[in-house]
Structure 1
Amino acid sequence: MKKVLFVLGHLSDKDIEWLIENGSTRQLRSGEYLVRQGESIKEIYIVLSGSLRIFNEQNPQHEIAHISSGEIIGEMSFLDERPPSVSVVANEEVKVYRISLEPVRQYMEVNTRFAARFYYSIALFLSDRLRKTTSRLGYGAPEDDIDELNSNILLQVGHAGSRFHRLLNKFAES
């Protein structure tokens, strides 16, 4: 499942409009870094098209993950304000939606309902990632790695899909 659905599914249409108005796109060429390990980042990214690889600079040949459209990057640094522990580089031409962290934090101060929805969606996203990682390491039950959604999340998927398409359409001409 596209990880962006965890986030967009729990935000309101007004939240999405605010994100669209306050974000922009960025194009990357193959081999270009989006994130460098140990260097602070000031934005959250949603991959709109293309693919990227995630790796540790100490072992750059070992790919930790391969991500593509619908994935989110920078959520951990948003939460804990620490530099990323991995690097992210484009495998091909990539287009990402980006929004600076400072305006998001400022908007959260004046719109606490947005803040609650945003943090809840990030928590769901990270919980899903942790369950999958635990399972891949051999500590979870095999069925924990199945990409199933509970009924709460399933209700939001339709909205999330249309919101992601709205982001894609908005920035298609950029």
Structure 2
Amino acid sequence: MRKVLYIFGILSDADVAWMAQTGVRRRLGDGDVIIREGESTDFLIFMLEGELLVTTRRLGQIARLGVGEVVGEISLVDSAPPSATITASGNGLALFLDKTKLMHKLDNDAGFGSRFYRALAVFLADRLREARGSSAGNSAISDEMGISEDELDVGILDRVSAAGERFSRMLRTLSNNRISS
């Protein structure tokens, strides 16, 4: 859940409302592949309920992702095909944000673009630190940094309350929208 707090702590209420109104909620069934390694994807995906498995052909399963995680973000940044397959583990619910619509918004709303890319950079930095900590066999990102895996960076702590409220508000907005399958 803390992953979405990084993003929603930086975005404005209007930004999150736009995402909720533009995105499509989709039910996920056990085993549904939402991103396939090597095949381009058209969506940025926010996990709302359930769990995802991340696998690669070379390494097998490399991660489990839960509520508040975002997938498809790396392909959004560099346009390369995904480097992993993302599969639903059990039933779930996700918000699919069309990349074409998102890119249009990023190109035409400088404020949104600035906040979105900053949020994405913070999110990706956290994911990198977490991966480096895991590869070193630590449960903490780095002993020398003094930040444990479940802690938020001090710079984002003051935004956590607002971020949590934004995520809750988005979920309420989405509950009024139709779910596609």
Q: In the TM superposition, what is the alpha-carbon distance from 1:130 to its structure 2 partner?
A: 1.0
Letter in 2 for 1:141: S
Aligned length: 172
Matches within 5 A, 1:73-92: 73-92=71-90
Shift of 1:94: 1.3
Question: Is 2:53–2:61's contact at 8 Å kept on the other side of the alignment?
Answer: yes
Partner of 2:118: 120
The question of whether the paired residues in 2 share the 8 Å contact of 1:54 and 1:64 is answered with yes
CA RMSD of superposed structures (Å): 1.7
Match of 1:153 in 2: 156
1:95 is matched with: 93
Aligned residue for 1:129, secondary structure, equals helix
1:84-126 C-alpha deviation (Å, 9 max, x unpaired): 1100111111110011111111112221011000000000011
What residue is the counterpart of 1:141 in the other structure?
Answer: 142
Question: 1:146 & 1:27 partners in 2: Cα distance?
Answer: 29
**Mapping 1:5-16, distance limit 5 Å:** 5-16=5-16
For residues 67 and 151 of structure 2, the distance between their equivalents in structure 1, rounded to whole angstroms, comes to 19
Assess if the C-alpha contact under 8 Å between 2:17 and 2:170 holds in 1. Answer: no
Residue of structure 2 equivalent to 1:72:
70
Letter in 1 for 2:168: H
Q: Is the Cα–Cα contact under 8 Å of residues 4 and 72 in structure 1 kept in the other structure?
A: yes
Give the TM-score of the pair, scaled to structure 1: 0.91
- Name stretches of at least 5 consecutive residues in structure 2 with no aligned partner: none
Question: Partner of 1:162 in structure 2?
Answer: 165
Structure 1 residues 11 and 120 mapped into 2: Cα distance closer, same or farther (>3 Å)?
same
Residue 148 of structure 1: how far off its partner (Å): 2.2
Deviation at 1:145, TM superposition (A): 4.3
AA aligned to 1:148 is: E
2: CA distance, partners of 1:36 / 1:122 = 21
Residue number in structure 2 paired with 1:171: 174
TM superposition shift of 1:2: 2.2
TM-score where L is the length of structure 2? 0.88
